[in-house]
A = this chain, B = another copy of it.
């Protein structure tokens, strides 16, 4: 469940952050669910507690999880707001170099869009209009 890729270039704490986000989006982790303690998770993935701690801190700052002192760490209630322009600009900036390389390597729009759709489906992303 919390398995990481390991051999990757991505820092461990960043992998943990991503993994937890994924699991909440996929519904595997639901609001109120207890996460493993820092020490438990660090044992599971064979990493230093500090590294996991850093990931948890980042997740807390992003509002994905919340720490109840002495009780543990829990998945936070998701507060859904419309994404603001700064967030969108940031996402487009991060999308850009991926598209640059895709185009460079001759990937066609159709195929790239299929990848996007698959990813959205896998994550339960909304495809229609705002829920108004």
Mark A residues whose CB is within 8 Å of B. Answer: 6-7, 11-12, 18, 21-22, 24-25, 48, 61, 64, 66, 68-70, 80-83, 87-88, 91-92, 94-113, 115-117, 119-120, 123-130
Contact across chains for B99 and A125 when beta carbons are under 8 A apart:
yes
Residues from chain B with Cβ under 8 Å of A48 in the complex: 70
**How many angstroms between the C-alpha atoms of A66 and B8 in the bound complex?**
9
- Taken together as a complex, chains A and B put the C-alpha atoms of A18 and B92 apart, in Å, by 15
Selected contact of A126 from candidates B21, B106, B116, B128, CB within 8 Å: B106
For chain A, what secondary structure do more than half of its interface residues adopt (helix, strand, loop), or is it mixed?
helix
A61 to B61, CA, bound (A): 10
Contact call A106/B81, Cβ cutoff below 8 A: yes
Q: A105-B83, A108-B129, A113-B113 are in contact. Are A100 and B66 (CB under 8 A)?
A: no
CA distance A59 to B11 in the complex (A): 20
Expressed in whole angstroms, the minimum distance between the Cβ of A108 and any Cβ of chain B is: 5
B127→A107 contact, CB < 8 A: no
Provide the bound-state CA to CA distance between A96 and B11, in Å.
16
26 residue pairs of the A-B complex, CB under 8 angstroms, read A11-B69, A18-B97, A25-B103, A25-B104, A80-B106, A81-B106, A83-B105, A88-B107, A91-B101, A91-B105, A91-B115, A92-B115, A95-B95, A95-B98, A95-B119, A99-B120, A99-B125, A103-B125, A108-B126, A108-B130, A109-B117, A109-B120, A109-B125, A109-B126, A110-B128, A113-B116
